[in-house]
Structure 1
Amino acid sequence: MKDCGGCKELREEFRAKRFGLHHENPSLFVKSQWFRPKFYIFWVVFWMLFYTVMLCLDIHYNLGLDGEYFIYLTNWSYLIQAAHVFIDFGVTVFTHTKRKDIRDGLATGTEWYMKVAWIFFNINNAISLMVTIIYYALLEPKFSHGSINKHLLNTIYTLLSLVFCAKPIQLLHFYQPMIYGFFYLLFSIIYHALGYAPIYSVLDWSKTGTAATLSCLSLFIGIPLMHLVCFSIHTLRVYVSTNTGCSAQKESDNGQVKREITAGDVHLQETARSKQPSMIYTSNAVSPGSQ
């Protein structure tokens, strides 16, 4: 009985190498799933400008908070999302101008800056969804412009990115947002131990049992579940793209063909070079007899 393609791909997701940050097609990090690679530049420029403006406004309206600004998970995650946007912008522009071999699908290695961008992408995806769910489900939500921007628009951006971008998501990368979540929980414990008031009612460590239970549920179930949701959206996006024959997928296939042709040409050239000495020797050996 033949193994279905989907089952084979799913098994590949559980290989140990999937914990790492190598990807065989780095061009996926700097283009859209649906449009030509150059169109992706407009995407990253738009969001870079948007987050630049929003961060400036955020700084202006929160000047009075001083260091207190940095105790909230919302602000941690908003800064992570902004960092992801700026890194994505930098990596995309650099690749499209200086590393066109990556953009055109001719390279196979994953550069360090793409690995950094991938980590921020993975963390932002799961954490932004978690922030929205926790805020509107467990806390007392406000509907001011700043609150909507950090608790709702953050998830809208993430979902749009998951649908629009061609960036890959690997199932075993769930540990990356979990590490981020662990460090925030550790920070909240230290903050409480120093005598400060609880940051959130659900993280009141004077009620150790409740806080520990909710923290463990969020860290070990909530975050991996959000990563699974993102992986599912990614899988659906790739499936639809592959079966509709979008331009980005065709260009990716063309890049793969180019890599195979280039490798074949190199092999043929090396073979030809290796045969040249023996051909010359044979020609010289026959020449005296023929005279």
Structure 2
Amino acid sequence: MATSCKFEFQAQHFGFVGVSPHQFYHIQWTQNRWVHLVFRILMFSYQLVWFILDFTTDLGNDTPGDKPRQLLLSNWTEWLILLYFTIALIVSIIGVAKRHNDEHNNSDTLSWYHKVAWAFFNMAVVSAFIITIFYWAVIGRNRSAALNTRPRTIHLHVTNSILALIEIFMAAFPTRLLHFIYTICYGVVYGIFVLIMHWTGVDSLIYPVLDWQNSPGTAAGWLILAIIIMPVFVHAIAFGFYHLRACIARATVLKGASDETAPRANSGVEMGNVNPAFMETPQHKPN
């Protein structure tokens, strides 16, 4: 393991500490900020194009029985992912613009926009995985193959997790184990929205398992599972992918990092701070 449980389970790690701003300006595999910017443009452009197509072409047409987009967590998460990619692109642009000033500035203090990007990263990535799991385990198995293979369905419930996985393996900043709290906050907001839709009589059956009119107890159980329990377990999976990314990086692009330029902690190595997979070494000088 690259970090210790004692280190991860510190109250301060509910927040945004121990990470350099530089880690938001490059990908894990190169510290060239222009490469990072191109990556950010590609991710943002893909999501933006799909967002536009979803509302303007036949790809996004609803079939009879489909709920309005604004009611569905799948669409909420699509918009959340687009918002994250927008924020990440803006941060990358800032990194390119500041690259010369940063050569003389060794501050490790994160600005507010780094923290916002980090929080939205956790919400977007974990929510994407949850949407995929929830749809194919609960909703998709009761729908026809024709509906499940629609481009829109694939984008919302398959490609979303592919993008999340790419993001985990490309980002240079760490995944904190305690950051599951941000996905729970996102889920609670949606849960409150669902209850408001029921109490106001707009829709009491947004999903088949959320039948507030006839089975409120079952609906409450499913809602708690989706917005509180699943974020904890799915975030732990994302945390595991993060460790895998760091292990690959240490064995490849950062294999030559020396002990002097990449010091280790006594027992557990804190990824994003002193781990060689995240240190800026002479061989990997920021661009």
TM-score range for the pair, normalised by the shorter chain length: 0.7 to 0.9
**Partner Cα distance (2:232, 2:159) in 1:** 22
**Partner Cα distance (1:50, 1:245) in 2:** 27
CA contact (8 A) 2:40 2:88 kept: yes
| AA partner of residue 9 (structure 2) | F
| AA partner of residue 281 (structure 2) | N
CA contact (8 A) 2:2 2:243 kept: no
Structure of higher CA gyration radius: 1
Q: Which residue of 1 aligns with 2:207?
A: 200
Normalising by structure 2, report the TM-score.
Answer: 0.79
* Structure 2 unaligned spans of 5+: 258-275
| Paired positions, count | 252
Deviation at 1:101, TM superposition (A): 5.0
- 2:167 corresponds to 1:186: no
**Partner Cα distance (1:232, 1:251) in 2:** 16
Deviation at 1:104, TM superposition (A): 9.1
Deviation at 1:95, TM superposition (A): 1.2
Q: Which residue of 1 aligns with 2:51?
A: 55
CA contact (8 A) 1:78 1:154 kept: yes
**Partner Cα distance (2:227, 2:233) in 1:** 10
**Partner Cα distance (1:115, 1:90) in 2:** 13
CA change 1:103–1:195 in 2 (3 A) is farther
CA contact (8 A) 2:249 2:277 kept: no
What percentage of aligned pairs have identical amino acids?
27
| AA partner of residue 253 (structure 1) | E
Moved more, 68-77 or 174-183: 68-77
- 2:183 corresponds to 1:177: yes
**Partner Cα distance (2:56, 2:171) in 1:** 31
**Partner Cα distance (2:159, 2:105) in 1:** 32
Q: Any idea what the Cα deviations from partners look like across 1:19-76, whole Å, max 9, x if unmatched? A: 11223322112211112333211111111221221111112146999x9321111110
Structure 1 segment 1-291 matched on structure 2, within 5 A: 6=1, 9-38=4-33, 39-61=35-57, 68-100=68-100, 102=102, 106-140=106-140, 141=143, 142-197=148-203, 198-206=205-213, 207-246=215-254, 252-254=279-281
CA change 1:118–1:251 in 2 (3 A) is closer
| AA partner of residue 242 (structure 1) | R
CA contact (8 A) 2:78 2:156 kept: yes
| AA partner of residue 201 (structure 1) | P
* Structure 1 unaligned spans of 5+: 1-5, 259-291
Moved more, 168-177 or 194-203: 194-203
CA contact (8 A) 1:26 1:105 kept: no
CA contact (8 A) 1:188 1:203 kept: no
| AA partner of residue 52 (structure 1) | L
**Partner Cα distance (1:220, 1:74) in 2:** 17
Which structure shows the higher helix fraction? Answer: 1
Normalising by structure 1, report the TM-score.
Answer: 0.78
**Partner Cα distance (1:104, 1:251) in 2:** 20
Stretches of 4+ aligned residues off by more than 6 angstroms: none
**Partner Cα distance (1:166, 1:251) in 2:** 7
Q: Which residue of 2 aligns with 1:261?
A: none
| AA partner of residue 37 (structure 2) | I
Deviation at 1:135, TM superposition (A): 0.6
Structure 1 vs Structure 2 CA RMSD: 2.9
**Partner Cα distance (2:168, 2:104) in 1:** 21
Deviation at 1:120, TM superposition (A): 0.7
| AA partner of residue 200 (structure 1) | Y
